[in-house]
Chain A
Amino acid sequence: MQALSLRIVLQEIAEFNDWLGTLPHRYKVVIAGNHDLLFDHTFYNDTWRKWVDTKEHCEPLSAAALLTNATHYLEHNEVGWRSDVEFHPACTCGCMCVVCVLPRVFSVFSVFVALLLVTQVVRPPCWHTHLPPRFFRTRIM
């Protein structure tokens, strides 16, 4: 029954991937959030016994591999875009593991976030995260 529950979660990801395939956008970037638990390495490495019987069913990399229609799955990395006339370096930086108020999920202050904080002063990127780091621009626009 636990493996069945995981299959349903994987099915949700597969349905989302199918929906991504129907969209006409040239680039499709996906960043995981705190509800996308299959993508959190730390969380599943610690608590996989509560979810599934065997660990090979809950590898986060296999969940990310399901997003075949997404051109980029960003996790602690960045990507630039080229429009018709201009190249936008580091336009989108994706990071799901940011310092957030949730105690258990995605409460990792990564080196990538620290580097982003520094590089944003030098070269402001368009920074996409699911949750902002604590004490850093947490005001919702």
Chain B
Amino acid sequence: MAQNRITSRCARALHVSVSNAAFLLALGGCGVLVWLVAGVAGPVVAAVMGVAVLLVLSRLWWMRQPVVIPTMTQTPQAAGSLRVVAISDTHCTHQRLRVPPGDVLVHAGDFTKRGTIRVRLHLWRGSSMWRGWQCRH
């Protein structure tokens, strides 16, 4: 169980670091793109942009992978015991989860996100900032 926990933490840390690096490199790539459009090109710039694109694609691939909770899937449930599966903070990504079987499932909050791109866009468009610009009909 400890090994699984450590592996999970390492995977999560790697995911966060890769995501942050991809985001920063994507931002840098956009800046370099402007630089390229201005007429300056070079192999280093092309390599950086390529790496940024690869990292963004890798993150998209990662987000589509199923999430397995390994701690309880590898240990059989003892007879007469009560197994409680506790999860939380799925934030609308519950479809990716492979939840281990058990008697009680506890979802301890944050199953919605209120922050998907669709919701954020609609909230932003419905904010009071645009009230004077909305069509009255």
Contact = CB atoms under 8 A, between A and B. Distances in A.
Interface of A: 1-2, 4-5, 8-9, 12-13, 15-16, 19-20, 23-38, 50-51, 81, 83-86, 88, 91-92, 94, 96, 126, 128-131
Contact of B108 (A2, A20, A33): A33
Given A1-B125, A50-B128, A81-B82, 7 more contacts: A5-B122, A12-B119, A23-B105, A30-B111, A31-B109, A35-B109, A81-B103
Interface stretch (B20-28, B30-38, B50-58, B92-100): B92-100
Interface size class of B (residues with CB under 8 A): 35 or more
- Select the residue from B112, B115, B125 with max chain A CB neighbours within 10 A: B112
Interface stretch (B10-18, B40-48, B62-70, B83-91): B83-91
Please list the 4 inter-chain residue pairs (A to B) with the smallest Cβ-Cβ separation, ordered nearest first: A33-B109, A130-B109, A33-B110, A83-B82
A27 B125 contact: no
B105 A29 contact: yes
Contact of B103 (A8, A26, A51): A26
Given A1-B126, A25-B85, A92-B104, A16 B112 contact: yes
Contact of A126 (B84, B90, B105): B84
Contacts, number: 122
A86 B103 CA distance: 13
Contacts of A128: 86, 106, 108
B130 to A, nearest CB: 8
Contacts of B107: 20, 28-31
B101 to A, nearest CB: 6
Given A25-B101, A33-B89, A85-B80, A2 B126 contact: yes
Contacts of A4: 122, 126
